[in-house]
């Protein structure tokens, strides 16, 4: 698509986060999986199409580490599920911090890239165990698996049914455990910056990466979480530093574009 083409998902007068369709019964959207699978071999290129994720990975990981459950441990190691892990940017960072990490993604190409990178770049001494699995959250729920913490980073805006997805996250975490979600707010500012700016003007992301209509307001995310038995504990904004989106990010009180939130399961 030419750089001058206008995005097709302009803001409309429509209800935000309308009730999910009864026919929606999976978190996996085949079109989204195909889009990210096509980028799998470029995922670890810090100057490639995933460079905004590389740029925000440090501040995101630090935030997660501060909000993971201690659950009486003398260390911060927890059994952690990274849903929608892609090629493993956050999974590797969290395992390096000492956690026991399972990276899960519905893209077989993404998981292959994650495994290849881990094999070529072994984690440093003192890291926690890291394994990868190709599959969906529904697979783990069907198996009765549970984790101390579940994280879903920049993924809920790509699933078929966000409200049902929050129920899946809740089903996968132990009572008293932590769920962490990062996503994009549904505001005019996020449309201008996260959609038009990032995809069409600055070309930081491939055109079509995001659908603004799927961005989620913090109030809607909190409501969906409560319905799934999750109570919001903390929320912070994430914003690029002075050098811009492709460079280091910082934590902020501004939730108008990117934000990250932690929840505790009742």
Does 60 appear as a known binding residue? yes
CA-based nearest residue to 40, from 86, 85, 82: 86
Dist. CA 265–CA 213, nearest whole Å: 28
**Do 93 and 61 meet the contact criterion of CB atoms below 8 Å apart?**
yes
Distance CA 117, CA 86 (A): 12
Distance of alpha carbon 132 from alpha carbon 266, whole angstroms = 28
Q: Is 45 annotated as a binding residue?
A: no
> Is 84 annotated to bind ligand?
yes
Render 4-66 in DSSP notation, one character per residue: TPPPS----S--TTPPPPTT---S--HHHHHHHHTTGGGTT-TTSTTHHHHHHHHHHHHHHHH
130 is in an annotated binding site: no
Nearest to 206 by CA among 52, 57, 58, 84: 52
How far is the CA of 76 from the CAs of 72, 97, 232, 259, in angstroms? 10, 9, 21, 23
Binding residues: 60, 84, 105, 153
Residues of the binding site for S-adenosyl-L-methionine:
60, 84, 105, 153
């Amino acid at each position: 698509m030419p750089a001058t083409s206008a995005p097709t998902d302009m803001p409309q007068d429509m209800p935000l986060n309308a009730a999910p369709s009864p026919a929606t019964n999976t978190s996996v959207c085949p079109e989204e999986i195909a889009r990210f699978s096509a980028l799998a071999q470029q995922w670890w290129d810090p100057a490639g199409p995933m460079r905004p994720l590389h740029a925000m990975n440090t501040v995101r990981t630090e935030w997660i580490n501060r909000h993971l459950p201690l659950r009486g441990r003398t260390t911060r190691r927890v059994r952690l599920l990274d849903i929608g892990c892609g090629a493993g940017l956050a999974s590797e960072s969290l395992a390096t911090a000492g956690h026991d990490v399972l990276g899960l993604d519905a893209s077989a190409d993404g998981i292959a890239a994650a495994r290849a990178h881990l094999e070529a770049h072994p984690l440093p001494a003192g890291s926690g165990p890291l394994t990868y699995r190709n599959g969906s959250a529904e697979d783990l729920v069907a198996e009765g698996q549970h984790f101390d913490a579940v994280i879903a980073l920049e993924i809920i805006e790509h699933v078929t049914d966000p409200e049902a997805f929050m129920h899946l996250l809740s089903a996968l975490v132990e009572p008293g455990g932590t769920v962490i979600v990062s996503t994009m707010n549904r505001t005019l500012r996020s449309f201008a910056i996260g959609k038009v700016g990032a995809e069409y003007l600055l070309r930081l992301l491939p055109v079509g990466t995001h659908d603004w209509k799927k961005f989620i307001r913090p109030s809607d995310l909190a409501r969906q979480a409560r319905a799934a038995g999750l109570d919001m504990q903390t929320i912070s904004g994430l914003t690029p530093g002075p050098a811009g989106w492709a460079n280091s990010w910082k934590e902020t009180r501004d939730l108008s574009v990117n934000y990250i939130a932690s929840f505790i399961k009742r």
